[in-house]
Chains A and B, each alone.
Chain A
């Protein structure tokens, strides 16, 4: 997913390997993204990124049993998306193909941990960063 195009482009791919509830959560993210695009909203619409941040911030509270309920509660309270429709699509795994596209790409790239960042500059691969790092590390590696 492109979130900005200009000096810097960030492409996000979901890799649900850390938690058992990661797969349904990633399906919900893809369903949220699909709903955003169907509504004609821009790619920087906050629903997708807000939900992703919510998963990270509240990860200890999520489980396989409550991921759909908590996702619907977040979307209903924090975004203008149709939360019930998004979660229904996630439950039915309507966008699971997109999740598989990302997991297949991660496998081809040997990404075995999250987060893993592949840094490119002017189309040329520079390096890989694994784990949380500061903005300064990214800026230095990309010479921003």
Chain B
């Protein structure tokens, strides 16, 4: 089934090898402290954007009103899953998983752009446009290779 799906969707990961390669790539990218920190920051940002957007009037009140710092923090922290009652266990876990995946995705996209010397300029290809080439471009001369892409690891599709 995955083979037929892979043939109909040639640009998408559909097979077990694809998922193993993605997991290995993510693990290697996140093995770099800078990319791990970036993933963490992006995850927190993604989670914050979602939960805070659900209570904008309260967030605005906490940020701009004449409250003590402790009260501001109590209000804002209470909006997050497992720190406040706004989300159930399943909702909270799903939110954290989505936020974590977003962080990993951002870190991998930044890695791809930086290590493969891509830019948003003419001819350079944006990260979105180059997503289809993931794993097919070698790092430019003089740049460190994390051996995270398919070409470097010799397991290209």
Contact = CB atoms under 8 A, between A and B. Distances in A.
Tell me the interface secondary structure of chain A in the complex.
mixed
A133 B84 contact: yes
B55 A130 contact: yes
Interface residues of B, number: 19
Contact of A126 (B54, B55, B65): B65
A132 interface: yes
A111 to B, nearest CB: 12
B140 to A, nearest CB: 50
Interface stretch (A14-22, A70-78, A135-143): A135-143
A15 B86 CA distance: 20
Interface string A119-134: 0000000111111111
Classify chain A's interface size.
10 to 19
A132 B75 contact: no
A134 B84 contact: yes
A129 B55 contact: yes
B3 interface: no
Contacts of A126: 61, 65
9 contacts: A126-B61, A126-B65, A127-B60, A127-B65, A130-B58, A134-B85, A136-B78, A137-B58, A141-B71
Interface of B: 54-55, 57-58, 60-62, 65, 67, 70-72, 74-75, 78-79, 84-86
